[in-house]
Structure 1
Amino acid sequence: MSEWRPTADFAALGRRAQLLSQIRQFFAARGVLEVDTPLLASAPVTDPNIEAITAQSPSGEGQMYLQTSPEFAMKRLLAAGSGPIYQICKAFRQGERGRRHNPEFTMLEWYRPDMGLDALIDEVAAVVALASGSADVARMTYQQVFEMHCHLNPHTASLVELKACAGQHLDLGFDSDDRDLWLQLLMSSVVEPALDPEQISIVCDFPETQAALAKIAVNGEGQRVARRFEAFYAGMELANGYDELRDAGELVRRIGDDHRRRGLSGQDLPPIDRYLLKAMPYLPECTGVAIGFDRLVMIACKAERIDQVIAFPLERV
């Protein structure tokens, strides 16, 4: 019986430790402060695509949540005047288990006051290069990658056109009138696999409806788009970055929209983080990004499965 043994070999664990050290040196050289925030939170994200793992309050009264990201707590630090900060920490998400997913995983997240998205993208590429070595960087808009691989404009295509495109590429056993669901399905199943695995692909200007906590802007064609990007390399999504929303009223509106969507699908309606709402008026202009650290280690080790780069996945704890 070997169930007690780690799934990662010690060469991979050694490379993991080396990469942690390299990342800390990277941010220290740039004057970015490492911070540490609680794993337990009174309120989780409300995004319908992310489910938090719950825990009983230490007082025995009420429910708390294991963080899905340190974002809310880090934004409170930013609002209090921390300046540029980063964190390497554990994050937890319900139901995420697979070749590249474990419900408990390690996240690298950082925030840059007064830094634009272009400069933040340069930093993301430099961090990925710590794991991958030198790689070309290609920057494309969400519209460009959809026109290239799906032959439609994602901002103007009808629901019928999106469904038809999905039917051409995928064996579908369901139907939905949720336009974003079809866009996300096409992105993950058609566009992402077609991106060059040998280059760092940056996809920006997502649809307004997929803004999450990013600002909204108008592109050159007059379409409202999210000031948000994702980074891909070696066939994997690695990073999700925002020009951060600072409007508390808009945040409440978006949470309400999340709750509406959750209600329609029968999901729980999580509470709103009251501390974040109070901090929002003090949040400086900033950009921020989160990277799945375990995936960086997978790249560094040329691993096919997350189990090869973490000591004890879900089934061994």
Structure 2
Amino acid sequence: MTPDTKKYRHLEIRSLVIQAIRDFFTGNHYLEIETPIRCPCVIPEAQIDPVVSEDQYLQASPELCMKRLLSKGFNKIFQICKCFRKNERGSYHLPELTLLEWYAKDDTYLDLMDQCQGLITFIAERLNRGNQIIYQDKIIRLNRPWQKLTVRKAFDIHADTSLSAALFDGSFDEIMGFKIEPHLGNTSPCFLYNYPATLASLAKLLPNNPQYAQRFEFYMAGIELANGFTELTNPVEQTKRFEIENKIRCSQKKAVAPLPDKFLADLEKMPDAAGIALGVDRLVMIFCNAPSIDDVVTFTPENL
């Protein structure tokens, strides 16, 4: 029996993309690490429901453990791992997904943007794509500089209401999903940056404007690929922010997440750093010109 030709080609590209990721980071002196995917605590987040595994949780991100490693002297680290999101399913969503995360001491979110550019360009060169990627009839040019757009400016350009009004009436996510994101990264990759402070519970705030945080999201072809920020390293402030997230969860009739006490204790020793999570499945979609995330994984949940 011969394998499905299109599926085989997609999985072949997936393998090449993952190998290129490893080569990029090891070539830039990052240490590849592995952390547990099953943990007693997860990040308290209002919008992400943890998956329970007996008396523990399956990680939605390896962020807590990776930042604890930073506090113990690991200065440049990355990992490619499985993560889990409850009730997430769609053309761009899987309940079990593959994430790339990397962290580096003394970096900021501006450094992460440069690293994203370097990584995507490196993969494109490895796949002989030159200076452009074609995705669903969109020609995305990789010639630098890439677009950078503040969240406030994106609302001014693409939305029919202001950022302040969207935050006040709770329509931020809906407007982002339907009005703004489809316009991002269609001709060149795009960094949407300086998120409202209330939407960046683990990020440092802008020193000259604390209403906004040093957080960005990275887009290609209207698809969010990554979320990165300059890390908050103040354990007292971080505890307050986690408690706010739990209050929101409580107001939504959701279970309160236990505070990650060991992480908060280590945070006091964590150096200034920046970190980012990038969706490998979505990135492979882009390089395969595949319309659905189902096309670039071996098995979907429905086929197991």
TM over 0.5: yes
Aligned to 1:295: 282
1:167 alignment partner in structure 2:
none
- Which of 17, 20, 27 is the matching residue for 1:19? 17
Structure 1 position 71 matched with structure 2 position 99 = no
Q: Which moved further from structure 2: 113-122 or 204-213? A: 113-122
1:100 alignment partner in structure 2: 92
CA displacement at 1:180 relative to structure 2:
7.0
Distance across 2 between alignment mates of 1:288 and 1:92? 19
Query: Gaps spanning 5+ residues in structure 1: where?
Result: 57-62, 163-177
> Quick one: distance in 2 between partners of 1:44 and 1:116?
24
User: Hey, what does 2:228 align to over in structure 1?
Assistant: 241
Q: In the alignment, is the contact (CA less than 8 A) between 1:13 and 1:311 conserved in 2?
A: yes
Q: How far does the alpha carbon of each residue in 1:123-174 deviate from its partner, in whole angstroms, 9 at most, with x for none?
A: 11222332575314101111111111125541xx34xxx4xxxxxxxxxxxx
Query: Unaligned 5+ residue runs, structure 2?
Result: 132-141
C-alpha contact (below 8 Å) 1:6/1:312 kept by paired residues:
no
Change (3 A) 1:35 1:240: same
SS in 2 for 1:23: helix
Give the whole-Å Cα distance in 2 for the aligned partners of 1:8 and 1:76: 41
TM-score normalised over the length of structure 1: 0.85
1:312 aligns with 2:292: no
CA RMSD of aligned residues (A): 1.9
TM-score (norm 2): 0.89
Answer with 84-93 or 119-128: which moved more. Answer: 119-128
Q: State the one-letter code of the partner of 2:188.
A: Q
**CA displacement at 1:42 relative to structure 2:** 0.5
Q: What is aligned with 2:147?
A: 138
When residues 265 and 71 of structure 1 are mapped into structure 2, their CA distance, relative to the original with a 3 A threshold, is same
Q: Quote the offset at 1:47 in angstroms.
A: 0.8
Q: Percent identity over the alignment?
A: 34
Number of aligned pairs?
Answer: 285
Q: Deviations over 1:13-62 (max 9, x none)?
A: 11111111111110111101100000101011211111111011xxxxxx
CA distance in 2, matches of 1:283, 1:6: 48
Q: Deviations over 1:184-228 (max 9, x none)?
A: 211111011122412111011111111120011155xx5620110
- The 1:276/1:7 distance shift into structure 2, 3 A limit, reads farther
Q: 1:151 to 1:223 in 2, by over 3 A?
A: farther
Q: Is the 8 A contact 1:8 1:310 kept in 2?
A: no
| 131-140 or 299-308: bigger deviation | 131-140
* Cα distance in 1 between the residues matched to 2:191 and 2:282: 16
Larger mean CA deviation between 118-127 and 91-100 belongs to: 118-127
CA contact (8 A) 2:109 2:230 kept: yes
| 192, 198, 204: which one aligns with 1:209 | 198
Higher relative contact order (CA 8 A, sep 6+): 1
Residues 123 and 180 (structure 1 numbering): CA distance in 2 closer, same or farther, change over 3 Å? farther
Partner of 1:166: none
CA contact (8 A) 2:147 2:191 kept: yes
1:1-317 aligned at under 5 Å gives the runs: 9-56=7-54, 63-129=55-121, 130-131=123-124, 134=131, 135-136=142-143, 137-150=146-159, 152-154=161-163, 157-158=164-165, 162=166, 179=168, 181-219=170-208, 222=209, 224-317=211-304
Alpha-carbon distance in 2 for matches of 1:257, 1:102:
27
Q: Is the 8 A contact 1:228 1:241 kept in 2?
A: yes
